[in-house]
A and B are shown apart, each in its own frame.
Chain A
Amino acid sequence: MTEAAIKLDKLEIDALSELVNIGVGRAAASLRHMVGEEVLLSVPSAEIMQREQAWGLIEKDSGGGLVAIHQHFEGSFSGCALLVFPEMKSLELVRAVVRTDLPLEDIIDLEQEALAETGNIVLNACLATIANILKQNLKMSLPQVRRGNGAALLGDACGDVPGDLLLFLYISFTVNSQNIHGYIVMLMDLPSLATLKQLIGEYIAGLTCQRA
């Protein structure tokens, strides 16, 4: 299988961005209940790119350490999904989620759990929305939190997923007046990316046929 077999055309990228938009929109409503105030979202974008290229982009934007919450998914297409954001924003996100004026050491204790739960909500909403709309069933693992720098973090979290390409979805969200840029990255091998492309194609074709 070649890279050409998984290259998405304009409408397929549009479709994928819209599915992510719906998924993250739902996640935002759940996050809103956790943080007690509105969560602002940017317009999402989707692209298939090389792992190094994606990581370069994230590192350039974050300027240092990263936190990733990752979950494996399995079904007609399988892989590893990550919610990534700069490590220095992690405590702010946790503070927003925990919503109390706890001392710093308590917040640090809660950090791991709060991050896992936030990632769980965002990643599940995205994956479940994509799966539902494409009429597929995906099995999701429990979320895990990893810290580190670009490539090492990726290898650590999703080292078992083969291939050089990944699906890079960018969306930023603002919580508690703190601008927390987040990235959603989905790593899939070539057969899974090809299946996803095919399912999106079928979904688009279905929309045209369903018209009265």
Chain B
Amino acid sequence: MTYKVLIVDDSKLARMVAVGALSRVRPDWTPVEVGSAAQALEALEDKSIDVALVDFNMPETNGLALTAEIRNLRPSMPVALVSANIQDEIIARARAINAVFLPKPMTDEALSGFLSGATLQLRRQQQ
């Protein structure tokens, strides 16, 4: 089963890192890149998006606020908050809205771990 992953980051480079890692750990999954929270919400109107990777430190709406909005729209979608800002408060807030925290720079192992959990969750929802 292949899935569609929304990658939200204002940095083109960070999106390249995420797309690269995804292509190595889940070559058959499809990335959808967007550069802001507004574009992310627009992309989510397409119901085919299954998983989201959301950068924390973005202009206008930050990743936590966006994740909270995603939770309203898609309560059970697997979401990871991606950030180099590994302060306890950020990690706790990510967990409080049921998002996984992935530290930057993103590694293949960390992404793969998150996607394995996401796959299980998505399969359960489909049953």
Contacts and interface: CB of A to CB of B under 8 A. Distances in A.
Given A25-B84, A211-B23, A133 B13 contact: no
A177 B16 CA distance: 35
Contacts of B104: 21-22, 25
B11 A21 contact: yes
Interface residues of A, number: 27
Interface string A158-199: 000000000000000000000000000000000000000000
A5 interface: no
A29 interface: yes
Contact of B87 (A18, A23, A39, A210): A39
B119 interface: no
A26 B12 contact: no
A210 B85 contact: no
A46 B32 CA distance: 26
A212 B57 contact: no
Contacts of B13: 11, 14-15, 18, 204, 207
Given A22-B105, A29-B86, A38-B89, A210 B11 contact: no
A32 B87 contact: yes
**Could you say which interface size class chain B belongs to?**
20 to 34
A208 interface: yes
Contact of B85 (A25, A133, A204): A25
Nearest to B86: A29
A13 to B, nearest CB: 10
B117 interface: no
Interface in B75-101: 83-90
Contact of B20 (A10, A21, A23, A211): A211
A69 interface: no
B24 A210 contact: yes
Given A43-B58, A212-B27, A26 B20 contact: no
Q: Taking each of B59, B84, B86, which has the highest tally of chain A beta carbons within 10 Å of its own beta carbon?
A: B84
B101 to A, nearest CB: 12
B85 A43 contact: no
A90 interface: no
B14 interface: yes
A43 B86 contact: no
B85 A29 contact: yes
A133 B105 contact: yes
Contacts of B12: 10-11, 14
A129 B104 CA distance: 11
Given A43-B58, A43-B59, A211-B24, 9 more contacts: A14-B12, A21-B57, A21-B104, A25-B57, A25-B85, A29-B87, A32-B88, A38-B87, A129-B84
10 contacts: A18-B14, A21-B11, A21-B104, A23-B84, A25-B57, A25-B86, A28-B85, A32-B87, A32-B89, A43-B57
